[in-house]
Structure 1
């Protein structure tokens, strides 16, 4: 019987949902290697022949401290340290797999590193001809430098993104002109620095906006021209599309009255049927093709989550990000025609793993 091992946080729902999918396919429960053990440099011993899945470290406070250093888990920043520690840790996982007879890694750790660097990810997608918003060439060292580069590019509206991060942490939707500045973000500017908040807020005092950008810039910034997104019912929308083994299988519409559509920031799940009707059959096919092409830039990854923006007018699309751990969509089954109808994202991945093993045994 196929042996599986998950590098993750024991008891965390990503690990649990994957284990439940394995059970549905008659596979034994995966072993779990805690992220904290990997990050502390403990000796990693794997079962010969096991298939190793790397999960997100999740929201485990101890893992976060080992990745970013000690501090409040809600703080914004430390992305550079986080990325360096993650890259070192995933390299250790790869080394453990390579020295274990018959073990196979179900991910490419170099691809994970690229997906968690928005600058590198954007460059890879752009080089492959995947539509992405134009980006400032950088580097952007502070607010003054940001405004200077925006003026040179002739851009009045941009998205400012920390180079390393996820879940919209530190992202700013910035509108700047000669006499007005408005920044929309989930960042809370406090006396002890920046913190993540579940409340999206606006800053219109340029001193505050400059302070936020200056603090974020230390870990590197990626700045894209604002992509005007389509809307339904007074809410802007985008899609999270999960691509499994090269095929788009699941999609969720995220709708919000703010520029940030993330569900944990007040975004809501929209109606995929409405979106498909708006773009039409050919437009839907083009959208899925773009997602497949984005995923093809990371061929060593079993599954990725592609954040797809649809432009005003429902004709243009652009990829905002590709997420190495973008498959956490509980209770969402595959969309019609995607080949994973009735399956959640974890079922689809376990099925793909089983199919690969069967093909390899022939």
Structure 2
């Protein structure tokens, strides 16, 4: 039986290109690419019956971004609720294409793009996660922190990605009143925009203004988890799973709270983590348990934090499109990248794709 792939993505996006290369290298026909712009503008989605359909990231295409959250500067912070509403409606359109099977369950993707719901799913499954609460304003945030006796938190937009709008907030315990907020958000030309330079704010009115700007889209507040240090910085890991099994990983180190590589984070020494057998086993076990919460998703990117004691392990997030680790982090020893691993899992290992949207998740 011939296998035919199709991809919903942005033509020219690196993810789409790498998946296409993996499919062709496996001796299969080049995947059909359905642009997100077609999905979001209501155009007919003609996909050959029997196709295995991969849903990929909308990427950084300015036109697609405008369709998702409205016109504006693509680098702007905010608009996550509108983005999410439009995005999940697009997922429903994709899931309704007749005769195709999805390699990523549409409902599960929707859950992974809502940090509050994803955290709840993981917690119910017994996956270790930092304690968290939701906030609707700066005043609500501070009240929630005071009620719990927390002085350090991560404030995350419910539907953000790439650390957009994320704030690492430290508040001095009483009787002090100093605070420090570290974020990549910057006030530029009358609006909040993402910057490649992480900065710190110490004036409460600045922090209040940013939090209250983000709050209408929903805020997920996590207790600060003290992370282990490596290479002169704290670190976390992105662990990619394929068909529920951890296959690739990368260590991300940074001297600031955010370890994202585009914000100055660096790839760290994975061997230093793997050299601790008990710790490494916990990392893999926790990653697999997180992936098991999303059984209809061929691949997940699990963000794992190792505690400063080098023993405790928690999951920060699970990413639906977290497999972009080209040429790095193969932990299975087979020499395949994340995309080749996914193609093999489908073609040779028989990963069961779904034809339904939201099986058990929405």
* Pairwise same-fold verdict (TM > 0.5): yes
The match for 2:339 is: 346
The match for 1:322 is: 318
The TM-score with structure 1 as length reference comes to 0.94
Provide Cα deviations, 1:266-304, integer angstroms capped at 9, x if missing partner: 000001001222xx2122111100000000000000000
TM-aligned CA deviation for residue 233 of structure 1: 2.7
Q: Is the 8 A contact 2:346 2:352 kept in 1?
A: no
The match for 2:359 is: none
Q: Which runs of 4+ in 1 moved over 3 A?
A: 356-360
The match for 1:184 is: 182
Provide Cα deviations, 1:53-79, integer angstroms capped at 9, x if missing partner: 101000011110000100000000000
Which of 199, 216, 219 is 1:218 aligned to? 216
Which of 196, 203, 206 is 2:204 aligned to? 206
Q: Is the 8 A contact 1:333 1:343 kept in 2?
A: no
TM-aligned CA deviation for residue 28 of structure 1: 1.0
Q: Does 1:299 align with 2:295?
A: yes
Provide Cα deviations, 1:324-358, integer angstroms capped at 9, x if missing partner: 000011211511xx3x5311110100110112449
Matches within 5 A, 1:68-217: 68-96=69-97, 99-100=98-99, 103-136=100-133, 138=134, 140-177=135-172, 178-217=176-215
Provide Cα deviations, 1:181-215, integer angstroms capped at 9, x if missing partner: 10001010234221000000000011101101110
**How many residues get paired?**
349
The match for 1:11 is: 12
2:198 alignment partner, SS class: strand
Return the alpha-carbon distance in structure 2 between the equivalents of residues 16 and 50 of structure 1.
18
Provide Cα deviations, 1:214-234, integer angstroms capped at 9, x if missing partner: 101010000000000000132
The TM-score with structure 2 as length reference comes to 0.94
1:183 alignment partner, SS class: strand
Return the alpha-carbon distance in structure 2 between the equivalents of residues 358 and 94 of structure 1.
18
Return the alpha-carbon distance in structure 2 between the equivalents of residues 58 and 271 of structure 1.
28
Return the alpha-carbon distance in structure 2 between the equivalents of residues 199 and 214 of structure 1.
22
Q: Which deviates further from its counterpart, 55-64 or 185-194?
A: 185-194
Pair 1:70–1:359, CA change in 2 (3 A): closer
RMSD (Å) for aligned C-alpha atoms: 1.3
Q: Is the 8 A contact 2:273 2:279 kept in 1?
A: no
Q: Does 1:229 align with 2:227?
A: yes
1:218 alignment partner, SS class: helix
TM-aligned CA deviation for residue 19 of structure 1: 0.7
1:315 alignment partner, SS class: coil
> Can you give the 5+ residue segments of structure 1 that lack an aligned partner in the other structure?
none
Return the alpha-carbon distance in structure 2 between the equivalents of residues 252 and 48 of structure 1.
37
